[in-house]
């Protein structure tokens, strides 16, 4: 018996997938949820949310993400990765939570997929060169192979000979099987009444195996009927196909019932229950190669880079996420993704040329060109966006706008209330004007303000924290410090104030010596003057994920079981510092002779 899982089959007509619809497909005993995103991409997913098994066809196609109806989990266009879990609005979901997807090709007016199909869907010369015209798809409670075999005797006349408007025509036509494949058959009808002008028509029928004894016949005429005759031809075939189907079903009922197919339900990935292997240097694992598909200037001294995958798919990101970019000169730099939700075909970053560049921004600006291949890390989100706010205030300074642009697009797509305040030197320094334009009156620009004016504007923006309001701030250090001070003075609760520094400009004091005990690894190590906890751990073979390694990004934050951390990072907020139960081990040290870490 042939392996049905290795073949491509049509499971929907392209026009079954209008905007914002979720279509229920069936193939080999498996239910599928098909939806077309606003960018035109057709997603073919198993019809089952990995959280609690609820059908995704109950969900909402929000254009860029599919939202499950049971708990509101959001899954990204293309990757099917989970981007948001409403029950835990402050957390970034593990990026490995991903629904089961199947490959997809649109061809001849159908959406094709398969369990694990080889190659491509069938290429059929008559459809490639003609002007294909889809017939009504006809479901039949008949075994797929029986349908396919029987189709050789489907009788029809050429489109030009279909009776119409009282013009009776002879039903005499000779049918030949002009071509056939594993799951399709091509028939050509030639009218025996020589008076017809166009005396032959070709139909290709594809048979979609829904289950062991259920099929869908999907027919395509190789040429559209003459103008004005489309409906007549459709009706003629609908009548013939219904008769054909009824006869087959009548026979099928006389045969013993077949066991239905059972689609294998996979397990969720082990990654969800175990930590992924970190790379050797501890930076976030899972490096991917990407091509610089596009490089363009998006503001004075600001270049944007679009990365597309060399192979496979880009991992799912969430608003606020950053990636490590491994540069040709050996440096590793962190950049926030600017992408809106569901834009999984590429990653976009914005890079400002720093006058005092230490080789990161200058390398990207001057050396990296379109077509270059770079290594990037998987996205890491230490700046997650809550979507349970009554209102969200986004405050950007300069190039700090990048993560906030991603957040703004996510909030806008979900029709959530927000405002973006963007502080920049001049109109020329405003980055990504194309994205900003989409934000309409949600955007307020503050241009060319002095530090004093910036301070007073921040104070007025943050003057009255609303109930259920959250603020996200990203920008240069002094502006961030000012904004945080203004928020604290106005009575914003610490957990409602979210911030991300570009870099840690504090003076790092590495003069102390202390012991760290690793509770889970049962290891005690001495951290000498001049070395960081992370370096000592790494020297002893203990690898903790890290990214910026200067206390700004939060990737290396670990739980503290006892001892008092000497916080030197700019990631944790004041309440988190005071609590002392977490610390960034790339820069922070100990105020007590001994620290116990939960690693």
Identified binder of another protein from the candidate list 20, 71, 155, 296, rule CB under 8 A? 71
Provide, rounded to whole angstroms, the least separation between the CB of residue 443 and another protein. Answer: 22
Provide, rounded to whole angstroms, the least separation between the CB of residue 96 and another protein. Answer: 9
Q: Cβ closer to another protein: 72 or 580?
A: 72
Instruction: Give CA–CA dist 249/247, Å, rounded.
Output: 6
- The residue range among 48-56, 167-175, 478-486, 520-528 that interacts with another protein, by the rule CB under 8 A, is 48-56
Give the neighbor-by-neighbor strand order of the sheet with 105-107.
9-13, 110-113, 105-107
Provide, rounded to whole angstroms, the least separation between the CB of residue 97 and another protein. Answer: 6
- The residue range among 385-393, 437-445, 522-530, 586-594 that interacts with another protein, by the rule CB under 8 A, is 385-393
Can you state the angle between helices 451-461 and 477-489, rounded to 10 degrees? 40
Indicate the Cα dihedral angle 433, 435, 438, 441, nearest 10°: -60
Regarding 273 and contact with another protein (CB under 8 A), the answer is yes
Q: Check: CB of residue 132 under 8 Å from CB of residue 225.
A: no
Instruction: Give CA–CA dist 552/530, Å, rounded.
Output: 19
Regarding 51 and contact with another protein (CB under 8 A), the answer is yes
Identified binder of another protein from the candidate list 20, 139, 308, 390, rule CB under 8 A? 390
DSSP codes, 534-557: HHHHHHTT----BSSSSSSS-TTE
Instruction: Give CA–CA dist 441/564, Å, rounded.
Output: 47
Number of residues that bind another protein (CB under 8 A): 33
Regarding 265 and contact with another protein (CB under 8 A), the answer is yes
Strand partners, 475: 501
- The residue range among 128-136, 189-197, 387-395, 581-589 that interacts with another protein, by the rule CB under 8 A, is 387-395
- The residue range among 53-61, 109-117, 122-130, 436-444 that interacts with another protein, by the rule CB under 8 A, is 53-61
Q: Is 35 helix (H, G, I), strand (E, B) or coil?
A: strand
Provide, rounded to whole angstroms, the least separation between the CB of residue 204 and another protein. Answer: 34
- The residue range among 236-244, 262-270, 284-292, 581-589 that interacts with another protein, by the rule CB under 8 A, is 262-270
Regarding 89 and contact with another protein (CB under 8 A), the answer is yes
Instruction: Give CA–CA dist 291/372, Å, rounded.
Output: 6
Encode burial over 116-130: b for 16+ CB neighbours within 10 A, e otherwise.
ebeeebbebebbeeb
Regarding 31 and contact with another protein (CB under 8 A), the answer is yes
Provide, rounded to whole angstroms, the least separation between the CB of residue 59 and another protein. Answer: 10
Instruction: Give CA–CA dist 230/598, Å, rounded.
Output: 71
Segment 195 to 224, residues that bind another protein, using CB under 8 A: none
Instruction: Give CA–CA dist 142/363, Å, rounded.
Output: 64
Residues within the interface to another protein (CB under 8 A): 31, 47-48, 50-55, 58, 69-72, 85-90, 97, 265, 267-268, 270, 272-273, 387-390, 416, 468
């Amino acid at each position: 018996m042939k392996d049905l899982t290795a073949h491509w089959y049509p499971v929907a007509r392209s026009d079954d997938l209008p905007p914002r619809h979720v279509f229920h497909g069936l193939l080999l005993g498996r239910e599928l949820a098909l939806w077309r995103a606003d960018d035109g991409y057709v997603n073919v997913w198993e019809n089952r949310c990995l959280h609690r098994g609820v059908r995704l066809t109950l969900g909402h196609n929000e254009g860029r993400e599919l939202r499950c109806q049971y708990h509101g989990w959001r899954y990204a266009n293309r990757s099917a990765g989970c981007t948001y879990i409403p029950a835990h609005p402050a957390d970034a979901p593990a990026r490995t939570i991903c629904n089961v997807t199947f490959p997809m090709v649109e061809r001849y007016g159908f959406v094709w997929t398969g369990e694990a199909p080889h190659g491509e869907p069938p290429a059929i010369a008559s459809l490639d060169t003609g002007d294909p015209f889809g017939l009504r798809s006809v479901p039949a409670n008949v075994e797929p192979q029986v349908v396919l075999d029987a189709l050789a005797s489907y009788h029809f006349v050429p489109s030009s000979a279909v009776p119409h408007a009282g013009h009776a025509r002879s039903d005499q036509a000779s049918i030949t099987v002009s071509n056939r494949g594993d799951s399709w058959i091509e028939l050509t009808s030639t009218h025996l009444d020589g008076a017809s002008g166009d005396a032959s028509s070709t139909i290709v029928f594809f048979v979609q195996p829904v289950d062991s004894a259920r099929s869908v016949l999907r027919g395509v005429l190789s040429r559209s009927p003459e103008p004005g005759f489309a409906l007549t031809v459709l009706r003629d075939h609908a009548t013939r196909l219904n008769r054909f189907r009824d006869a087959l079903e009548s026979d099928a009922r006389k045969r013993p019932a077949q066991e239905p197919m059972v689609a294998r339900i996979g397990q969720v990935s082990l990654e969800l229950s175990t930590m992924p292997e970190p790379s050797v240097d501890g930076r976030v694992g899972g490096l991917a190669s990407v091509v610089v598909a596009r490089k363009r200037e998006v503001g004075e001294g600001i270049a944007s880079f679009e990365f597309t995958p060399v192979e496979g798919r880009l991992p799912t990101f969430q608003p606020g996420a950053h990636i490590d970019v491994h540069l040709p000169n050996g440096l590793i730099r962190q950049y926030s993704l600017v992408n809106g939700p569901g834009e999984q075909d590429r990653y976009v970053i914005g890079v400002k040329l720093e006058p005092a560049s230490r080789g990161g921004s200058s390398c990207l600006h001057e050396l990296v060109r379109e077509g270059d291949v770079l290594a990037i890390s998987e996205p890491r989100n230490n700046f997650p966006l809550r979507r349970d706010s009554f209102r969200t205030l986004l405050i950007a300074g300069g190039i700090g706008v990048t993560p906030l642009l991603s957040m703004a697009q996510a909030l806008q797509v979900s029709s959530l209330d927000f405002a973006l305040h963007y502080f920049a030197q001049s109109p020329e320094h405003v980055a990504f004007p194309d994205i900003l334009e989409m934000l309409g009156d949600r955007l307020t620009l503050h241009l060319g303000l002095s530090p004093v004016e910036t301070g007073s504007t921040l104070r007025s923006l943050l003057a009255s924290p609303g109930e259920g309001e959250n603020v996200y701030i990203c920008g240069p250090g002094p502006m961030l410090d000012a904004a945080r001070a203004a928020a604290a003075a106005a009575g914003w609760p610490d957990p409602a104030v979210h911030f991300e520094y570009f870099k840690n400009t504090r003076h790092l004091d590495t003069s102390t010596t202390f012991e760290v005990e690793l509770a889970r690894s049962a290891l005690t190590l001495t951290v000498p003057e001049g070395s960081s906890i992370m370096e000592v751990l790494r020297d002893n073979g203990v690898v903790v994920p890290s990214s910026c390694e200067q206390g700004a990004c939060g990737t290396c934050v670990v739980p503290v079981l006892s001892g008092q951390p000497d916080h030197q990072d700019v990631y944790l907020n004041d309440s988190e510092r005071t609590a002392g139960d977490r610390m960034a081990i790339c820069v922070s040290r100990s105020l007590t002779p001994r620290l116990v870490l939960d690693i």
